[in-house]
Amino acid sequence: MPARDPLGRRGGDCAAGANDNIEKGCIMNYTIKTQGIMCGHCEAKVESALLAVAGVTDAEADHETNVVTVEAEGVEPEQLKAAIEGASDTYKVLEVAAQ
């Protein structure tokens, strides 16, 4: 496995588009705008659902801003959306942005 640079990229190959980075196994950071996360219990439920997805290494939900941040390797945005929306009928994903 190639060495990672300080930003988590493997061998410097992770500067291309998000889809290329997912295929290369790069660590990706996602900001997910949501609807329906109302309290600390909701935050914990969303975080647990995301951490159950293979490749997700960190997840933080904020019910005040309805934003979830995720760090993952080799995970498609659709998997993150499915995990959040599968955690409750009231949680909806409005947008998934990769950084």
Q: State the CATH number of the domain containing residue 57.
A: 3.30.70.100
Alpha carbon distance 62, 74 (integer Å): 24
> For the chain, how many structural domains are there in total?
1
Q: Does 83 reside within a domain?
A: yes
- The residue range of the domain holding 93 is 28-98
Q: Does 23 reside within a domain?
A: no
Give tens-digit pLDDT for 40-50.
Answer: 999 999 999 99
Mean pLDDT, range 73-92, rounded to an integer: 97
Strand, helix or coil for residue 48: helix
The residue ranking higher by pLDDT, 9 or 81, is: 81
Alpha carbon distance 61, 31 (integer Å): 10
